Chains A and B, each alone.
Chain A
Amino acid sequence: MAVIKAENIRFVYGTGTSFEKTALSDVSFEIEKGEFIGIIGHTGSGKSTLVQLLNGLLKPTDGKIYLNGKDIWEQPKKIRNVRFKVGMVFQYPEYQLFDETVYKDISYGPKNMGLSDEEIDEKVRSAAEFVGLKKELLDKSPFELSGGEKRRAAIAGVIAMDPEVLILDEPTAGLDPLGRDALLSQIQDYHDVRKNTVILVSHSMEDIARVADRILVMSHGEKYMFDTPENVFSKGRELEKLGLQVPQVTKIMLLLKESGINVNQNILTVEQAFNEIVNYLGS
């Protein structure tokens, strides 16, 4: 059964005012348990609105969102439980840190869930481990950490709630290439170990291509495509029209193919490209 199912959702900002703006129109999709989903789209395509709808921070103007087959707005008073199950890491999450120590900050979510102290301790420590936060940092003030460490601490704060679905909105924005790669691998490890559903929103096609099982392409508030990375990026020309870039290496393969060299264009990483070109030259 699908863990998340969106049915004809529509969302309008500022209903009834002169600032009325439709952010999403008639979006439907299903996400299976344990999938790693990437969401891409240009600025203003409705990505952020969509993910905020999924964990109940916004309420759809029309349409329904189901979590494990249950409408999340069935009992509006219990929407908090949905937010525990669908963990959400916002853009630049380091600006939400507030507590005296990193440990206390990470335990904010589990504490709100009403867990016992032992459970909280266990969850905080395993979450810190997942994001690669050293033990001695847990007793420090979050404001003493470096930028990258702050980001990790903030992500750990959401992972510590052990959500069934983890949503990350541009988690690598503003990190250096090394930090970005490390963070992405950790997210992937988390997905592999916990077998949870992960939804990654990103501008970076490289990031998404590396980790996602399926990619949801958003354009002007509508679902444009929802398919495997190979199928999505093979439509490179269409994506470019939407203002999206395919990964650079895919683009090179696409250009090679278009100039008459018969290589497979469904290539997402440099390694695959290398093998494909070696194969071609060998044949």
Chain B
Amino acid sequence: MVRDITLGQYMPGMSKIHRLDARAKILFLIAYIVFIFVAKNYMSLMLITMASLLVVLMTRVKFSMYLKSMKVILFVVVLTGILNLFYGTGNVLWEWGFIKITDGGINNAIFVTIRIATLVIISSILTFTTSPSDLTDALERLMKPLKIFHVKVHDIAMMMTIALRFIPVLLEETDKIMNAQKARGADMESGGIIKRIKALIPVLIPLFVSSFRRANDLAMAMECRCYNGGNGRTRMKQLHFGIIDLLGLIFSVVVFAGVVLCNIYFGAVVQ
């Protein structure tokens, strides 16, 4: 059950996308997200979606993995899609009492659905193709300018590294504790919502306790190795902005320019 979560899992590989500089990948991701929302008509939306799918193909990660990460948020996507169906202006196509469906509403629904789906897929590209340590390294570098405002960039990055590192550990632990309580007759699969939440207490408390224990152990181990923050630390793996990143940049700029041109040329369908 808990093992089905794929959102944010690294899939080791040697594809071109894997080899992109992690900093570049983060910046590209932000830019793509912005341009998904810049796209105002079907042509530009199709362009950015197609570009995203092309990148998906280039990662050589099985498409089923992307679908799995979609599954987690499927409910949200469908719900927002349906809600958007009723919020819209324009020609009324169907009416029943106070419920109205307009062509603007249909456009809204399609746009919202495709936008969220693409958003999840391109975010998955980042997490599927970048190892957690590269990812936090890159974030630390990108956030470096914030040091002027006395933001503890290194500490934040270290916390993220630790958090990511412990997700699989905690999942495994949850599984173990759940089994142990099931063996004592815990019933987590039936009953109403209140009963189910109550049934989780015997799982959550040991999980909290062991998280604190682990945190304590880890802090002690770090201190024993004289960890004292990021000052003067050097890195084993250096990040390099190379030719492959330049190619990625050119590709992205072309796509973004295409989106803007399509927007101007075909006119907006949604706001």
Contact = CB atoms under 8 A, between A and B. Distances in A.
Interface of A: 52, 55, 57, 80, 83-84, 87-88, 90, 93, 95-99, 108-109, 112-113, 143, 157-158, 161
Interface residues of B, number: 19
Contact of B180 (A90, A112, A113, A143): A90
B206 A98 contact: yes
Interface of B is mostly: helix
A87 B184 CA distance: 7
A127 B164 CA distance: 41
Contact of B183 (A57, A95, A97, A99): A57
Interface string B194-216: 00000001110110011000000
B181 A96 contact: yes
Contacts of A157: 184
B185 A95 contact: no
18 contacts: A80-B185, A84-B185, A87-B183, A88-B180, A90-B176, A90-B179, A90-B183, A96-B177, A96-B180, A96-B184, A96-B206, A98-B203, A99-B205, A108-B181, A108-B184, A112-B184, A112-B185, A161-B185
Given A95-B206, A97-B206, A109 B179 contact: no
A55 B173 CA distance: 20
A99 B202 CA distance: 7
Contacts, number: 60
A93 B182 CA distance: 13
Contacts of A98: 201-203, 205-206, 209
Contacts of A88: 180, 183
Interface of A is mostly: helix
Q: Which of A52, A55, A88, A112 has the most CB of B within 10 A?
A: A112
Contacts of A95: 173, 176-177, 180, 206, 209-210
Contacts of A113: 185
B172 interface: no
Contacts of B186: 108, 112
A88 B183 CA distance: 6
Given A98-B201, A98-B205, 19 more contacts: A57-B182, A57-B183, A80-B185, A88-B180, A88-B183, A90-B176, A90-B179, A90-B180, A95-B177, A95-B210, A96-B180, A96-B181, A96-B184, A98-B206, A98-B209, A108-B181, A108-B202, A109-B185, A112-B184
Interface string B154-191: 00000000000000000001001101111111110000
B38 to A, nearest CB: 38
B157 to A, nearest CB: 30
